Amino acid sequence: RCIHEKRIGRDELWFPFVPLAPQLQVAERAVKACEQGGIALLQSPTGTGKTVALLAAVLAWQRRHFAAGAAPQVIYGVRTHAQLRQAVGELRKMPYRPRMAVIGSREHTCTNSEVIARARQGRTPLNHACRQATRLAAQQERLGISAGSQSCQGACEAYATLGGPKHAQRVFNKCGRRGEIWDVEDLIGACKAPAGDGGCPYYTSHILAGNAEIVFCPHNYIMDPAVSQCGSHHRGRWSLRGRVIIIDEAHNLEQGCRDAGSVEVSLVELRQLSSALTALPTRHRNLRVRVRGQDVPCADVCAELVRVPQRLAAFLEQQANAPQASVPLAGLRQSWGLGQSTAGTAECLRAAGLTEHGLLGRAAEELAVELTDVLLRLQVEGRAVPEDAVVLGVLDRIRELLAKLQLTVRHPSSYVMGISSSSTGSSGSSSGPSIAAWLMAPGVIFESFAAKAHAVLLASGTLAPIAGLSAELSTSAAFVARSQPEGPLEAVHVVEPVQVLVSTVARFPGSGRVAVSSFGSWQDGDFLDDLGSAIASLAEAIPAGVLCFFPSYAAMDSAVSAWQGGSRRIWERLQRAKGDIQVEPRSSERLAEICSAYTGAARKPRGALCFAVYRGKVSEGLSFEDDLCRGVVCIGVPFPQARDPMVIAKRLWNDSQRVQGAGGAVGTLSGEQWYELQAYRAVNQALGRCVRHLYDYGALILLDARWSSKGDRSRGLRRYLARWLQPLVEEWPRIVASNNAEQTWRDLGDRLRIHFDVAPREVRRLKGLGDGASQASASQISSQISTQTSDVAAFWAAASWWNSAASRSNAAEQAMEPDFLNRNTVDENVPPGNHQGAKRPRPLPDSSAAAAAAAAALEPIASWEEVLEGQPAEAPGGAWGCAAAASVLAASMALARKEVLACFLRHDGVARGSAALLGQRWEARLSAVPCFDVSVSVPETEVEQGHWQRLLADQLPEQLQAESWQDLAVDTVAEAFLLAESFVAAESAARPAHAMGENQPRRLRVRIACLDHVQCSRFHWDDVPLRAIAVLAGPGTEVLPEVHADRSSFERLYELPMTAQGSMSSEAWNSAVVGAANTADVVMQTPPGWSVLLKGSEWEPGCAGAVHRSPPASGRRILLQVDYSDAIQEVPGQGTAAQATSRGSEASVEPSIAMTVASGFSAVLAAAQSLLHLEPR
C-alpha cells in the first residue's frame, strides 16, 4: 500500500513509508536521468533505502509514459543471485505491481536432476547438458513420442511441456499477470506440477522477460557482450536498445567491464583448440553445417575456425624463440600498447595476422554457433562419440576469443597485449607461454550497452572514491555526453552520529609500534603477535558479531596459522572473547556453511568473529544486519598486487594516457591514483557490512597508521572514506605525542564499551519516535539537520537563557552545570515569550515534555523548524537562516543548504570534559588571566596533523605555561584543534565545489584570545567563505536571524559619508538594521559549550553572509576562532586588524570600527584604514 506520495517533476512517486532524505535525492536524480535520457552516478549508503528509491522513480516515470502510449523496459542488474532475491523483496513491499521477470543462470533455475547429474558425471558445463536434453526433447516432440516414454530417455521433460496450456495458465496466474511479484523460488514452484504438466523455469523466465515491464538479472546479462548480444531462440526479444538500465552495486563496474573485455590464452591451450577442431572432420566426414541457407562441409567450417588459434600459436612460438625485450612488466617477455613501448597494440595484431578482413567477423561467430547446434543434434541422435563433448567446450572458448579479439582490433589504443614466459594451468602445472589482451579502458565495454540504452543509472552504497570511477569511464562517449551536469550524487547516511563509531588506530597495544602492514609483515612473528593482541582487544570490547578484513587470503592464512600455532595464547584469547571463530574459504562451495555457522553464533551471547578478505565473498553481496555485525575491523590498506603484470600494465597505461593530455583516453587519473583508489574502494565496501538500516549501530575500526592524519607513517587516507563517514572519524591515540600505547588501547576499549551502551538506548529512543511520529516528525528525523529533538530544545533553552539581561549581568555566578546541554531544560515559571529575568533552568525528566515546552516558550523555533523541513524562504514566518547541530556531519548538512547562513554546533569537548565544563574552568580563573591574542597559520591540508598545536601553545603567556595552569592550557589548545577540524570538515563537505576555486589549499588561522574589549558590536557579515567562533568564557557571539535583518538598511548605511558612519554609535547602527525591534530580544547568542559556523559573502557567489556581532556586554572573554589567513586584512604599520583592535583606544574612533572593517565591509576598506590613523582633534 502507498503510505506516502511525492511529486518529482511530472511524476507522482509512491512509497511504502515516508521517504528519507537520501531516498528523495536518489529518486530525483533517477527521474531526471530517465526524462532526459542521461547517465547518473548515485551513491547512497547501505540502509538508506536506495533500492526502493530507484524502483519508485523508474516505475513512476514508466507508468506515466505507458499512460501516454509506450515506455521503455527497465532492466535492473545486480551482482549475485542473492541480491536478485533482495531486490524483488523490496519491490514486493511497494505499491507498484508491474509485469515483471527474473532471469538467471541454469545453475540456479534448472530443476532436472538427471541433466544436472549427467553434467557432473561427464564433467561438462551444465548449459551443454541442458541444450542436449532440450534438443532431444524437441526431436521427440516432432516425432510424436510422448514425454516419459522409454524411447525418450535423456530428453528434458520440463522443456517438452513448456508450451502446454496448463503450464502456461499456471505460470501466467502466478508470475505472468500484472500485479504478481515473484522471485526465482516462486517461479520454480509454479513450474513444478504433477502428471508431466510442469515446465522448465530457465526457459520460462526468458519467455516472461520478453513481455515484462521490469526485468531483474545478473550484471553479466548487461556487461558481458557474449551474453548480452546472444541470439539464442529463447532470447529473441532480449535487447538493451532503448531500455532504462539500472546497475546496482556498481562499485565493481570498472573491474567488471575490464574483465569482460580481457582475455588470456596459453600456447598449450591454443594447440588443444587447434587439435580438437582439426580432428572433428576426420570423425564425421559427411557432416554438413547449415549456414545462412547453405550446407557447408564440416571440414570447411573447422578450417575457418581453426585459423585464429593457429595464428596465435604461431605468433607465440615466434616470440618465445625471439630475444627477450626489455620491458617494464614483470614476468612478460614482450608487451605492446604502453607509452614506454615503441610497438603499439595494432602492430602486435598485424604481426599475429589477426587484422585480416573477415577473420574476426560475425561470420566466424555464426559458424561456431551453428557447429555447436549440429554437435548437440548428433548427441541427441546417438551418432556422437565421446570426443565430441570436448569440442563443445572448444567452440565456447573460440567464441570468447573471437568476441574479445574483435574488441581489441576495433579499440587497439584501449588495450595492452603481453606475452608471458610461462603460465599456470587449472591443474597447477605450467602451460608454457601465454598471450593476453588486457582491456585498460572500461569505457569500451560501458559504451557497448550505454550507447544503446535510453538511460543508465549506476548505483551503489560505496562508489567512493567516486571521482575515480568517473575518470575511468570517460573513455565512453556516451558517458561523457550524457552524464548529469550536476555531477555524481553522494548522499549521506540516515543514522544518527551516535549510532556509528569510526576510529583510526595508529599503534599496536603492548609494543606500541606503529600499525602499518606491508608485504613482509605477514612473515614477521612480532607483527602478527601485535596484530592478534589488537584484534583480541577489539573483539573483547565489541559485542555480538565482528568481521575482520585482511588484505589477501595469503595474509589471512599466515595470521591464522601463527595464532593457532606458536602464538596459541592469542587464539585462546580470541576464543574467550568470542564463542565461535570462522575463516572465509577460498572456494564458494563452503561459503554457505561458514556463513550459517557465523550467523548462528553471532546471535548468541558470546558472539562470533569472522576473518575475511577485502574484495572477497564476505565483503559484498551478503547482508549482516544488527547483531550479525556490530563491528568491522579493517587491517592495512589493500592495494592490488604490485607485481601483477596486469596491475603494472594498467598503471603504466594510465600514465601514458595522462601524458598524452587531451588526445589520451583517460587524461585524469594517473597510474598511482588508479592503484590507490582500488584499495580505498575495497575498504569502503568492507565498512559497508556494518550499519545496514536506520536503527542499526556499530563500530568501524581502521587498524593502520596510514588512515590517520597525524603521527608517524600517517597519510591522512581517511579523506578517501565515504563522505558521510569522514566527519565521524576519531583518531587514536588522541594525543599525537603519546607513547603510552597500553593507555591508548584501554581508553579505546572504554570508548567502545560506552558506545555500545549508549547506541542501543538511542536506537530505542528513535524507534519510539518513529512509531508514533507524524509524517512531519519523520521528515525532520530523516533530514539529519538536527540530530536529536532534545538537542534542539537544549539549544533554544540555552540560547534564551543567555539572551536574558539577568543572565548577561551575572553570567559568572550562574554558570551552567557541566551536563546542562545533555539535559532538556526550561524554566516553566517564565511565561511564554517573556525571558527577561529568567532564572537558572531546571532539568525536566521527560525529554518530550522539554521539547514541547521549549517550542511553546520560544516562538522562533516553529519558524526555524519550517526552514529545516525544507519549506521555501517565503513561507509564513520567514527564513531564519539558522540551524543547530550536535555533530559535524549534521552541521555540514545544514550548511549545504542555501538558506542556512549560521549553524550552531555543540562540542563534545576535550578528554577531560565537555566544552561547557572547560568554560567553567576558565570562568573560575578569568580574573587572574592576562589579556592575550595569539594565533598560528597552517595549511588546511595539515590541520589534522596537529603539529601546529605545539606552536600555538608556545605563544601563550608565560603564566598559562606554568604547571598550575598547564592542564587548562593544553585542553584549550586541544579544543582549538577540534574547532579547526570541525571547520575544515564542514567546509569541505558543505561548500559547493564550484565555489572552491583553483587555489586550494589555503592557509587557516587558528586563534586563541583573552579579550577585555568588544571587537565589533555592530551587525555585519564577513567577506570570507566561513568563520568558526567559540567563546569558552564570557558572553557568546550573537547572530541576527534573517527574518529580523533588513538587508536594504546596510545599503543605506554604506551610502552615508565615511565621517557619518564613523560618528554613528553601535546602538544607532544596529537599530537601523533591526528596525523597531529590541536588539536584545531578536539576536541568538551562542550558548556555552557551543561554537557557531558563520557563512561569509565568499561562501559562494550570491551568498549574503550571516549577520552577527560581538556581544555588547563588558567583561573578559576567552575566544577561539578559525578562519582563512588571507581573510585577515593587514593594517599598515599596525599588524593585523585584530591586533590593532586591542590597541584601539589609541585611535580617535571606537575599536569596533577597525574590526568592522576587517570583518566584512570591503567596500569601505580603504577609507576605513585611513580613519584608523586620524590624529586626535
Beta strand 500-505 with 608-613: parallel, antiparallel or unpaired?
A: unpaired
3-state secondary structure of 531: helix
Q: What is the 3-state secondary structure (H, E, C) of 559-617?
A: HHHHHHCCCHHHHHHHHHHCCEEEECCCCCCCHHHHHHHHHHHHCCCCCEEEEEECCCC
Beta bridge partners of 502: 700, 729
The stretches of 725-788 forming alpha helices (DSSP H) are: 741-772, 775-783
Q: Which one, of 1138, 1080, 1122, 1074, lies nearest residue 975 by Cα?
A: 1122
The stretches of 1109-1164 forming alpha helices (DSSP H) are: 1137-1141, 1151-1159
**What's the rounded Cα separation, in Å, for the pair 362 and 239?**
18
What is 147-207 written as a DSSP string? TTSGGGTTS-HHHHTTT-HHHHHHHIIIIISTT----HHHHHHHH--TTTT---HHHHHHH
The pLDDT assigned to 1141 comes to: 28
The pLDDT assigned to 851 comes to: 34
Beta bridge partners of 217: 77
3-state secondary structure of 969: helix
The pLDDT assigned to 358 comes to: 79
**What's the rounded Cα separation, in Å, for the pair 1110 and 1122?**
15
Report angle CA 360, 363, 364 to the nearest 5 degrees: 55
Give me 486's grid cell.
550536476
**What's the rounded Cα separation, in Å, for the pair 62 and 68?**
10
Q: What share of the chain is helix, strand, coil (3-state, %, to 5)?
A: 50, 15, 35
Give me 1171's grid cell.
580613519
* Cis omega (within 30 of 0) for bond into 733: yes
3-state secondary structure of 907: coil
The pLDDT assigned to 614 comes to: 96
Q: Which one, of 586, 1143, 1071, 1122, lies nearest residue 905 by Cα?
A: 1122
The pLDDT assigned to 1148 comes to: 26
Q: Is 542:630 a contact under the CB 8 Å cutoff?
A: yes
Give me 905's grid cell.
554546533
The pLDDT assigned to 946 comes to: 67
pLDDT along the chain (1177 residues), means of 10: 84 91 94 96 90 96 92 92 88 92 88 83 77 76 59 72 79 83 87 74 87 92 81 64 94 92 93 93 89 88 93 90 67 77 80 87 84 80 78 88 92 91 60 89 94 95 85 92 92 87 92 89 92 96 96 95 87 94 90 92 95 91 88 96 89 81 55 93 93 93 93 88 89 72 88 90 77 34 30 37 29 27 29 29 31 32 34 37 78 82 72 61 82 88 76 86 80 87 84 64 86 85 90 88 83 80 82 78 80 89 88 82 67 33 27 30 31 31
Q: Is 11:64 a contact under the CB 8 Å cutoff?
A: yes
**What's the rounded Cα separation, in Å, for the pair 472 and 441?**
7
- Residue 829's CB is within 10 A of a number of other CB atoms, namely 8
The pLDDT assigned to 456 comes to: 97
Q: Is 732:750 a contact under the CB 8 Å cutoff?
A: no
- Measuring CA to CA, how many Å separate 4 from each of 63, 423, 484? 17, 59, 27
Give me 146's grid cell.
510422448
Tell me the residue ranges of DSSP E strands in 1025-1128.
Answer: 1026-1033, 1038-1039, 1084-1085, 1090-1095, 1108-1109, 1117-1124
**What's the rounded Cα separation, in Å, for the pair 676 and 695?**
33
What is 244-255 written as a DSSP string? EEEESSGGGHHH
